[in-house]
Structure 1
Amino acid sequence: MTGTVVGQTVASAMHTFPKTCGPATTVAQARELFGRPKVHALLVVEGGLLRAVVERADLAGLAGDAPAVAAGGLAGRTVGPAADLRDTWDGMAREGRRRLAVVGDDGRLRGLLCLKRTGRGFCSDEGIRARERERAGLG
Protein backbone atom coordinates (compact mmCIF):
# COMPACT_ATOMS: atom_id res chain seq x y z
CA MET A 1 0.00 0.00 0.00
CA THR A 2 2.92 2.35 0.53
CA GLY A 3 3.23 3.25 -3.14
CA THR A 4 -0.49 3.66 -3.71
CA VAL A 5 -1.42 6.42 -1.27
CA VAL A 6 -0.17 9.50 -3.10
CA GLY A 7 -3.13 11.81 -3.60
CA GLN A 8 -5.48 9.71 -1.46
CA THR A 9 -7.41 10.94 1.53
CA VAL A 10 -7.82 9.41 4.97
CA ALA A 11 -11.43 8.56 4.05
CA SER A 12 -10.16 6.13 1.42
CA ALA A 13 -8.34 4.03 4.03
CA MET A 14 -10.45 4.35 7.17
CA HIS A 15 -12.39 1.53 8.79
CA THR A 16 -16.03 2.64 8.65
CA PHE A 17 -17.66 0.72 11.51
CA PRO A 18 -15.37 1.11 14.54
CA LYS A 19 -16.48 -0.15 17.91
CA THR A 20 -17.48 2.64 20.26
CA CYS A 21 -18.51 3.06 23.86
CA GLY A 22 -20.71 5.62 25.58
CA PRO A 23 -19.84 8.34 28.07
CA ALA A 24 -21.02 6.19 31.00
CA THR A 25 -18.19 3.70 30.39
CA THR A 26 -16.09 3.42 33.54
CA VAL A 27 -12.34 3.13 33.85
CA ALA A 28 -12.81 -0.50 35.01
CA GLN A 29 -14.86 -1.29 31.90
CA ALA A 30 -12.28 0.44 29.70
CA ARG A 31 -9.48 -1.62 31.27
CA GLU A 32 -11.44 -4.77 30.47
CA LEU A 33 -11.81 -3.69 26.83
CA PHE A 34 -8.08 -2.96 26.64
CA GLY A 35 -7.50 -6.59 27.63
CA ARG A 36 -8.22 -7.48 24.01
CA PRO A 37 -5.00 -7.37 21.96
CA LYS A 38 -6.48 -5.51 18.98
CA VAL A 39 -7.90 -2.68 21.13
CA HIS A 40 -5.53 0.29 21.09
CA ALA A 41 -8.02 3.11 21.60
CA LEU A 42 -11.56 3.49 22.89
CA LEU A 43 -13.81 5.86 20.99
CA VAL A 44 -16.27 7.50 23.37
CA VAL A 45 -19.30 8.64 21.38
CA GLU A 46 -22.48 10.38 22.46
CA GLY A 47 -25.24 11.08 19.95
CA GLY A 48 -22.84 10.40 17.08
CA LEU A 49 -20.33 12.98 18.36
CA LEU A 50 -16.86 11.88 19.36
CA ARG A 51 -16.32 12.98 22.97
CA ALA A 52 -12.91 11.42 23.62
CA VAL A 53 -10.33 8.92 22.47
CA VAL A 54 -9.06 6.96 25.45
CA GLU A 55 -5.74 5.12 25.35
CA ARG A 56 -4.41 2.57 27.86
CA ALA A 57 -1.94 4.97 29.43
CA ASP A 58 -4.72 7.48 30.13
CA LEU A 59 -6.18 5.13 32.73
CA ALA A 60 -3.09 4.77 34.91
CA GLY A 61 -3.79 5.47 38.55
CA LEU A 62 -7.51 6.18 38.08
CA ALA A 63 -10.26 4.68 40.20
CA GLY A 64 -12.25 1.96 38.46
CA ASP A 65 -15.56 3.73 38.96
CA ALA A 66 -14.37 6.98 37.35
CA PRO A 67 -15.75 7.84 33.90
CA ALA A 68 -13.27 6.86 31.20
CA VAL A 69 -14.31 9.82 29.02
CA ALA A 70 -12.66 12.23 31.48
CA ALA A 71 -9.33 10.44 31.05
CA GLY A 72 -9.24 10.70 27.28
CA GLY A 73 -8.83 13.54 24.86
CA LEU A 74 -9.06 14.53 21.22
CA ALA A 75 -5.88 16.54 20.57
CA GLY A 76 -3.46 14.53 18.46
CA ARG A 77 -5.89 11.61 18.34
CA THR A 78 -8.15 12.67 15.48
CA VAL A 79 -7.91 13.47 11.81
CA GLY A 80 -10.36 14.76 9.22
CA PRO A 81 -11.57 12.49 6.41
CA ALA A 82 -10.18 14.85 3.74
CA ALA A 83 -6.65 14.87 5.22
CA ASP A 84 -3.87 13.63 2.98
CA LEU A 85 -3.30 9.93 3.67
CA ARG A 86 0.46 9.96 3.03
CA ASP A 87 1.04 12.91 5.38
CA THR A 88 -1.17 11.34 8.04
CA TRP A 89 0.60 7.98 7.74
CA ASP A 90 3.99 9.65 8.05
CA GLY A 91 2.81 11.49 11.17
CA MET A 92 1.48 8.29 12.71
CA ALA A 93 4.81 6.57 12.09
CA ARG A 94 6.76 9.47 13.64
CA GLU A 95 4.56 9.47 16.73
CA GLY A 96 4.31 5.70 17.09
CA ARG A 97 0.52 5.97 16.83
CA ARG A 98 -1.54 3.13 15.33
CA ARG A 99 -5.05 4.57 15.64
CA LEU A 100 -6.62 7.91 14.75
CA ALA A 101 -10.33 8.64 15.00
CA VAL A 102 -11.67 10.14 11.79
CA VAL A 103 -13.98 13.04 12.60
CA GLY A 104 -15.93 15.41 10.37
CA ASP A 105 -16.01 19.18 10.85
CA ASP A 106 -19.29 18.66 12.71
CA GLY A 107 -17.56 16.53 15.39
CA ARG A 108 -19.23 13.33 14.21
CA LEU A 109 -17.22 10.14 14.18
CA ARG A 110 -16.76 8.97 10.58
CA GLY A 111 -14.40 6.04 11.11
CA LEU A 112 -11.06 4.86 12.43
CA LEU A 113 -7.71 4.95 10.68
CA CYS A 114 -6.12 1.74 11.88
CA LEU A 115 -2.45 1.17 11.03
CA LYS A 116 -1.57 -2.51 10.81
CA ARG A 117 0.98 -3.93 13.24
CA THR A 118 3.50 -4.17 10.39
CA GLY A 119 3.12 -0.45 9.67
CA ARG A 120 2.77 -1.27 5.98
CA GLY A 121 -0.89 -0.51 5.48
CA PHE A 122 -4.26 0.06 7.07
CA CYS A 123 -6.95 -2.27 8.35
CA SER A 124 -9.78 -2.56 5.86
CA ASP A 125 -13.48 -3.12 6.44
CA GLU A 126 -13.19 -6.34 4.45
CA GLY A 127 -10.28 -7.63 6.53
CA ILE A 128 -12.02 -6.80 9.80
CA ARG A 129 -15.22 -8.55 8.70
CA ALA A 130 -13.17 -11.62 7.70
CA ARG A 131 -11.54 -11.76 11.16
CA GLU A 132 -14.96 -11.44 12.81
CA ARG A 133 -16.33 -14.33 10.71
CA GLU A 134 -13.26 -16.41 11.55
CA ARG A 135 -13.68 -15.79 15.28
CA ALA A 136 -17.35 -16.71 15.02
CA GLY A 137 -16.41 -19.98 13.31
CA LEU A 138 -17.88 -18.91 9.98
CA GLY A 139 -14.58 -18.35 8.18
Structure 2
Amino acid sequence: MSGTTPADLRAPSAELLGLQVGDVLVRMPKTLPTGVTVPQALAEFDDDHVHMLLLVAPDGTLAGTLVRDDLPDAANGPALAYATLDGRTLEATLSAEEARQQLLAAGQRRRAVVDDAGRLIGLLCLKRRRTGFCSDANVASRAAERSGRPCAPESA
Protein backbone atom coordinates (compact mmCIF):
# COMPACT_ATOMS: atom_id res chain seq x y z
CA MET A 1 0.00 0.00 0.00
CA SER A 2 2.87 2.34 -0.70
CA GLY A 3 1.94 5.99 -1.06
CA THR A 4 -1.50 5.57 0.52
CA THR A 5 -2.04 6.40 4.18
CA PRO A 6 -4.95 5.19 6.33
CA ALA A 7 -6.36 8.74 6.32
CA ASP A 8 -6.28 8.73 2.50
CA LEU A 9 -8.29 5.51 2.49
CA ARG A 10 -11.08 6.97 4.62
CA ALA A 11 -11.64 9.76 2.10
CA PRO A 12 -14.27 8.92 -0.53
CA SER A 13 -12.87 7.50 -3.74
CA ALA A 14 -13.77 9.78 -6.65
CA GLU A 15 -13.76 6.85 -9.09
CA LEU A 16 -16.62 5.21 -7.15
CA LEU A 17 -18.99 8.19 -6.96
CA GLY A 18 -22.47 7.26 -8.16
CA LEU A 19 -21.63 3.57 -8.54
CA GLN A 20 -23.23 0.60 -6.81
CA VAL A 21 -21.66 -2.73 -5.89
CA GLY A 22 -23.44 -4.27 -8.89
CA ASP A 23 -21.52 -1.90 -11.18
CA VAL A 24 -18.05 -2.87 -9.93
CA LEU A 25 -18.16 -6.56 -9.04
CA VAL A 26 -16.49 -9.49 -10.77
CA ARG A 27 -19.42 -11.20 -12.47
CA MET A 28 -17.83 -14.56 -13.21
CA PRO A 29 -15.88 -15.47 -10.07
CA LYS A 30 -14.51 -18.93 -9.64
CA THR A 31 -16.88 -21.07 -7.59
CA LEU A 32 -16.67 -24.48 -5.99
CA PRO A 33 -19.42 -27.01 -5.30
CA THR A 34 -20.67 -27.44 -1.76
CA GLY A 35 -19.17 -30.94 -1.60
CA VAL A 36 -15.56 -29.75 -1.87
CA THR A 37 -13.31 -31.23 0.81
CA VAL A 38 -10.93 -29.35 3.09
CA PRO A 39 -7.83 -30.64 1.22
CA GLN A 40 -9.35 -29.57 -2.11
CA ALA A 41 -10.19 -26.14 -0.71
CA LEU A 42 -6.71 -25.75 0.76
CA ALA A 43 -5.22 -26.56 -2.65
CA GLU A 44 -7.17 -23.62 -4.16
CA PHE A 45 -5.33 -21.27 -1.82
CA ASP A 46 -2.00 -22.33 -3.36
CA ASP A 47 -2.78 -19.64 -5.96
CA ASP A 48 -1.80 -16.39 -4.23
CA HIS A 49 -4.53 -14.53 -6.14
CA VAL A 50 -7.22 -16.59 -4.40
CA HIS A 51 -8.36 -14.83 -1.23
CA MET A 52 -11.88 -16.23 -0.82
CA LEU A 53 -13.62 -19.40 -1.96
CA LEU A 54 -17.30 -19.31 -2.88
CA LEU A 55 -19.20 -22.55 -2.22
CA VAL A 56 -22.30 -22.60 -4.40
CA ALA A 57 -25.23 -25.02 -4.38
CA PRO A 58 -26.54 -26.42 -7.69
CA ASP A 59 -29.40 -23.87 -7.66
CA GLY A 60 -26.90 -20.97 -7.54
CA THR A 61 -27.39 -20.22 -3.86
CA LEU A 62 -24.23 -19.17 -2.06
CA ALA A 63 -23.89 -21.79 0.69
CA GLY A 64 -20.74 -20.41 2.27
CA THR A 65 -17.46 -18.57 1.88
CA LEU A 66 -14.00 -19.60 3.01
CA VAL A 67 -10.79 -17.71 3.60
CA ARG A 68 -7.55 -19.55 4.30
CA ASP A 69 -7.72 -18.99 8.05
CA ASP A 70 -11.12 -20.75 8.21
CA LEU A 71 -9.60 -24.12 7.34
CA PRO A 72 -7.61 -26.37 9.66
CA ASP A 73 -4.68 -28.04 7.90
CA ALA A 74 -5.39 -31.47 9.37
CA ALA A 75 -9.10 -31.76 8.47
CA ASN A 76 -10.28 -34.07 5.68
CA GLY A 77 -14.06 -33.69 5.65
CA PRO A 78 -16.36 -31.27 3.86
CA ALA A 79 -15.06 -27.71 3.73
CA LEU A 80 -18.62 -26.41 4.00
CA ALA A 81 -18.50 -27.25 7.72
CA TYR A 82 -15.98 -24.40 8.13
CA ALA A 83 -17.67 -21.92 5.77
CA THR A 84 -19.62 -18.83 6.76
CA LEU A 85 -21.70 -16.09 5.19
CA ASP A 86 -21.63 -13.87 8.27
CA GLY A 87 -19.86 -10.61 7.44
CA ARG A 88 -18.91 -11.83 3.98
CA THR A 89 -21.80 -10.80 1.74
CA LEU A 90 -23.16 -7.58 0.30
CA GLU A 91 -26.17 -6.54 -1.75
CA ALA A 92 -25.63 -5.33 -5.31
CA THR A 93 -27.59 -2.12 -4.62
CA LEU A 94 -25.23 -0.88 -1.89
CA SER A 95 -23.13 2.10 -2.93
CA ALA A 96 -19.66 1.08 -4.05
CA GLU A 97 -18.07 3.62 -1.70
CA GLU A 98 -20.07 2.33 1.28
CA ALA A 99 -18.95 -1.21 0.40
CA ARG A 100 -15.33 -0.03 0.22
CA GLN A 101 -15.63 1.58 3.64
CA GLN A 102 -17.18 -1.61 5.09
CA LEU A 103 -14.32 -3.69 3.70
CA LEU A 104 -11.73 -1.28 5.07
CA ALA A 105 -13.37 -1.23 8.51
CA ALA A 106 -13.47 -5.05 8.59
CA GLY A 107 -9.92 -5.45 7.29
CA GLN A 108 -11.23 -7.41 4.30
CA ARG A 109 -10.68 -7.23 0.55
CA ARG A 110 -13.37 -9.66 -0.65
CA ARG A 111 -17.10 -10.06 -0.18
CA ALA A 112 -19.58 -12.17 -2.09
CA VAL A 113 -22.50 -10.33 -3.68
CA VAL A 114 -25.89 -12.03 -3.44
CA ASP A 115 -29.46 -11.28 -4.45
CA ASP A 116 -32.47 -11.27 -2.10
CA ALA A 117 -32.80 -15.07 -2.46
CA GLY A 118 -29.14 -15.65 -1.56
CA ARG A 119 -28.06 -16.52 -5.11
CA LEU A 120 -24.52 -15.53 -6.01
CA ILE A 121 -24.30 -12.52 -8.32
CA GLY A 122 -20.55 -12.00 -8.16
CA LEU A 123 -17.55 -11.15 -6.02
CA LEU A 124 -16.49 -7.70 -4.88
CA CYS A 125 -12.68 -7.52 -4.87
CA LEU A 126 -10.97 -4.49 -3.36
CA LYS A 127 -7.74 -3.72 -5.20
CA ARG A 128 -4.46 -3.91 -3.35
CA ARG A 129 -4.27 -0.10 -3.14
CA ARG A 130 -7.77 -0.21 -1.59
CA THR A 131 -9.10 2.73 -3.60
CA GLY A 132 -11.15 0.80 -6.18
CA PHE A 133 -12.31 -2.63 -7.24
CA CYS A 134 -11.06 -5.37 -9.55
CA SER A 135 -12.96 -5.96 -12.79
CA ASP A 136 -13.62 -9.01 -14.93
CA ALA A 137 -10.99 -7.66 -17.34
CA ASN A 138 -8.39 -7.41 -14.52
CA VAL A 139 -9.07 -11.00 -13.48
CA ALA A 140 -8.91 -12.30 -17.07
CA SER A 141 -5.65 -10.46 -17.68
CA ARG A 142 -3.99 -11.93 -14.59
CA ALA A 143 -5.23 -15.42 -15.46
CA ALA A 144 -3.84 -15.06 -18.99
CA GLU A 145 -0.47 -13.87 -17.65
CA ARG A 146 -0.26 -16.91 -15.38
CA SER A 147 -1.10 -19.28 -18.24
CA GLY A 148 1.14 -17.49 -20.76
CA ARG A 149 -1.77 -16.73 -23.10
CA PRO A 150 -3.08 -13.34 -24.15
CA CYS A 151 -6.41 -12.47 -22.52
CA ALA A 152 -7.96 -11.33 -25.79
CA PRO A 153 -7.30 -12.09 -29.42
CA GLU A 154 -4.87 -9.66 -30.97
CA SER A 155 -6.36 -7.46 -33.66
CA ALA A 156 -4.98 -7.70 -37.17
**Shorter-chain-normalised TM-score: which range?**
over 0.9
Counterpart position of 1:106 = 117
Counterpart position of 2:3 = none
Gaps of 5+ in 2: 1-11, 151-156
Counterpart position of 1:88 = 99
CA RMSD of aligned residues (A): 1.5
> 1:136 deviation in Å?
2.6
**1: CA distance between counterparts of 2:35 and 2:69?**
19
**2: CA distance between counterparts of 1:43 and 1:125?**
16
| 1:124 maps to 2:135 | yes
Q: Which amino acid aligns with 1:132?
A: A
Counterpart position of 1:4 = 15
**1: CA distance between counterparts of 2:142 and 2:48?**
13
Counterpart position of 1:52 = 64
**1: CA distance between counterparts of 2:136 and 2:35?**
27
The size of the alignment, in residue pairs, is 138
Counterpart position of 2:78 = 67
Counterpart position of 1:41 = 52
Counterpart position of 2:27 = 16
Superposition TM-score, scaled by structure 1 size: 0.93
Q: Residues 75-126 of structure 1: CA distance to partner in whole angstroms, max 9, x if unpaired?
A: 1000011111111100101111010000000111000000111212111111
Contact 2:16 2:132 in 1 (8 A): no
> 1:10 deviation in Å?
0.2
**2: CA distance between counterparts of 1:135 and 1:35?**
13
Q: Residues 58-83 of structure 1: CA distance to partner in whole angstroms, max 9, x if unpaired?
A: 113651x2111110110100001111
- State the SS of the aligned residue for 2:134: coil
| 1:137 maps to 2:119 | no
- State the SS of the aligned residue for 1:16: coil
- State the SS of the aligned residue for 1:83: coil
